[in-house]
């Protein structure tokens, strides 16, 4: 008896009864379709803005958002996450476009996708386990700040009518869900504000003011560059930087969606999927991209989407809106989309993390890491830099804290012929230097026993420190015996002891 194969758009779980993906149920289908439409509308001005940053035609950013979203819906590892053209990728590859031309930018996107596939296959996603919670909180909060800062230009030096429209949009999104949640409040807000501005003839900035929307679908092709080693030398550094930044943002966003939805995602598949999506995007002449955090929050947190269908439809609707309904979409007031993004900021920011009660109870090191992450991200407008600096800071603080847990106590036999040193704690590079200074080389008896039953040796620095202790005692004609090593520590000590001093 045969059964139908799962659709590539389906989540990993199934409804009871016949084997049908959950998104085929009317309620879920409605949610996914409407969420995809809202995200598509929100993608348009963002994609155009990022195109300007990269120095390319607005259609290039819109094509990239279309191909990224549609492709990642099939090959990605995190259902409901939105990938499209992003500012982070635009900042990385923009200089390449300005210095060498658009063909080199496309080549970098394709090569960057290849790098992402290789990094994904090598297990780069496993590095996410080393990102502490304080860095994650800082990442989320700085993300909210960046999204808000990106909206500020749309609220500065604009006609006065923008402000009441903005206020009306926010009010609709706050109060409409109290009436019904059948239709996403952001979509209602966009439709109503557009209708008001058109009916009343209110002159305010619109989506059309950002740039011309494409009138046809993208066509595949090869990048217009010479296929030589010289081209590779020019393109490779930008491609690798793009791959790292794209993976960092995508994996952090996937982890954030995991937390919001209480579900697990395949980070390795997501890493490889980002590479495939960028390669497809490059061959269609797009500017590349990665996970879009703001639009993902609209999709998951605001609209309630949970499956790959919403991601696929976001890309599909984007092209339909541009190609078929371009004139209508061009009339959408920017105030409506700004209101949506401001609402996303407030929903994204972890307000609990800065509450006085939380700050009083939180260790100073955790607060420091969170603040450093936020400051780095906001100062550089690069989420990847903030995450890396925050993680390194957290590791330094952790190493310093753990190093202080290593302790040495000594007991001398009554007859004065032997002294036993008991070492407790984790022995690694941060603790090894202090360890050497905790012994009384000059006054100890001729026999010294070092008991490591309550300690663990983690690295070569600790083995070198124990060798140095033995050498100092030997210079005074005294013997040292190390006892009670656990199996991993004994193995490491046996392998490295006597091999780290270069014969001195």
On whether the CB atoms of residues 306 and 78 are closer than 8 A, the answer is no
Task: Quote the pLDDT of residue 340.
Answer: 85
Question: What is the spatial distance between Cα 83 and Cα 70, in angstroms, rounded to a whole number?
Answer: 9
> In 3-state terms, what secondary structure has residue 37?
helix
Query: Which two three-digit tokens encode residue 275?
Result: 């590479």
Rounded (10°) angle between helices 334-348 and 162-179 = 60
Question: What is the spatial distance between Cα 81 and Cα 75, in angstroms, rounded to a whole number?
Answer: 12
Give the residue among 298, 288, 244, 281 at the shortest CA–CA distance from 87.
288
Q: Is the dihedral of CA 7, 11, 13, 14 positive or negative?
A: negative
C-alpha distances in angstroms, 424 versus 404, 420, 427, 440, 444? 11, 13, 9, 17, 20
Give the residue among 140, 198, 147, 172 at the shortest CA–CA distance from 373.
140
Task: Quote the pLDDT of residue 23.
Answer: 66
pLDDT tens-digit series, residues 417-472: 899 999 998 898 888 778 888 899 999 999 999 999 999 999 998 999 999 999 99
Task: Quote the pLDDT of residue 12.
Answer: 46
H/E stretch holding 457: strand 447-457
> In sequence order, which residues have a C-beta less than 8 Å from that of residue 4 and are 6 or more positions away?
19
With left for phi above 0 and alpha for psi between -120 and 50, is residue 82 left, alpha or beta?
Answer: beta
Query: Which two three-digit tokens encode residue 200?
Result: 């009343």
The series of mean pLDDT values per 10 residues for the chain, 504 residues long, is 47 51 80 93 85 84 95 96 90 88 96 96 86 86 84 89 94 90 84 93 89 86 94 94 89 91 94 97 95 90 92 95 89 89 84 90 91 91 82 88 82 89 90 85 93 92 92 93 93 86 51
Give the residue among 128, 131, 125, 127 at the shortest CA–CA distance from 268.
125
Give the residue among 418, 408, 419, 390 at the shortest CA–CA distance from 466.
408
Question: What is the spatial distance between Cα 449 and Cα 436, in angstroms, rounded to a whole number?
Answer: 15
Give the single-character DSSP code of 20.
Answer: -
Task: Quote the pLDDT of residue 2.
Answer: 45
On whether the CB atoms of residues 479 and 452 are closer than 8 A, the answer is no
Give the single-character DSSP code of 14.
Answer: B
User: pTM of this prediction?
Assistant: 0.74
Question: What is the spatial distance between Cα 217 and Cα 492, in angstroms, rounded to a whole number?
Answer: 61
């Amino acid at each position: 008896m045969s059964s139908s194969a799962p659709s590539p758009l389906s989540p990993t779980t199934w409804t009871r009864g016949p084997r049908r993906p959950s998104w085929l149920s009317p309620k879920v289908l409605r949610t996914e379709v409407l969420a995809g439409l809202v995200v598509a509308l929100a993608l348009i001005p963002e994609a155009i803005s990022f195109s300007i940053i990269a120095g390319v035609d607005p259609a290039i950013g819109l094509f990239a958002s279309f191909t990224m979203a549609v492709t990642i819906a099939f090959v990605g590892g995190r259902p409901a996450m939105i990938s499209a053209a992003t500012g982070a990728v635009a900042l990385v590859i923009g200089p390449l476009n300005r210095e060498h031309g658009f063909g080199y930018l496309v080549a970098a996107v394709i090569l960057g996708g290849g790098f992402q596939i290789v990094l994904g296959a090598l297990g780069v996603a496993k590095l996410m386990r080393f990102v502490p919670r304080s860095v994650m909180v800082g990442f989320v909060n700085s993300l909210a700040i960046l999204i808000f800062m990106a909206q500020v230009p749309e609220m500065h030096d604009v006609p006065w009518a923008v402000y009441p429209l903005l206020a009306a949009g926010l009010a609709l999104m706050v109060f409409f869900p109290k009436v019904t949640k059948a239709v996403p409040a952001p979509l209602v807000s966009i439709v109503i504000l557009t209708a008001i501005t058109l009916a009343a003839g209110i002159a305010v900035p619109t989506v059309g003011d950002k740039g011309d929307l494409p009138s046809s679908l993208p066509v595949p092709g090869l990048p217009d560059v010479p296929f030589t080693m010289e081209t590779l030398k020019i393109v490779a550094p930008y491609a690798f930087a793009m791959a790292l930044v794209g993976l960092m943002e995508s994996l952090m966003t996937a982890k954030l969606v995991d937390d919001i939805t209480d579900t697990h995602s395949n980070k390795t598949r997501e890493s490889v999927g980002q590479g495939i999506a960028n390669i497809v995007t490059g061959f269609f002449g797009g500017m590349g991209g990665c996970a879009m955090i703001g639009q993902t929050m609209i999709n998951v947190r605001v609209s309630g989407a949970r499956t790959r269908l919403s991601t696929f439809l976001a890309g599909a609707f984007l092209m339909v809106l541009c190609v078929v309904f371009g004139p209508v979409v061009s009339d959408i007031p920017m105030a409506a989309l700004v209101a949506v993004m401001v609402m996303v900021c407030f929903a994204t920011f972890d307000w609990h993390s800065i509450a006085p009660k939380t700050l009083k109870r939180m260790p100073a090191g955790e607060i420091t890491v969170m603040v450093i992450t936020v400051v780095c991200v906001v100062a550089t407008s690069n989420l990847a830099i903030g995450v890396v600096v925050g993680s390194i800071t957290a590791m330094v603080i952790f190493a310093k804290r753990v190093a202080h847990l290593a302790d040495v106590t000594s007991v001398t036999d009554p007859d004065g012929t032997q002294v036993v040193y008991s070492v407790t704690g984790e022995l690694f590079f941060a603790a090894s230097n202090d360890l050497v200074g905790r012994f009384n080389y000059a006054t100890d008896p001729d026999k010294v026993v070092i008991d490591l039953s309550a300690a663990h040796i983690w690295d070569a620095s600790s083995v070198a420190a124990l060798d140095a202790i033995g050498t100092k005692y030997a210079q005074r004609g005294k013997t040292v015996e190390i006892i009670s090593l656990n199996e991993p520590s004994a193995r490491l000590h046996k392998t490295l002891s006597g091999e780290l001093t270069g014969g001195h």
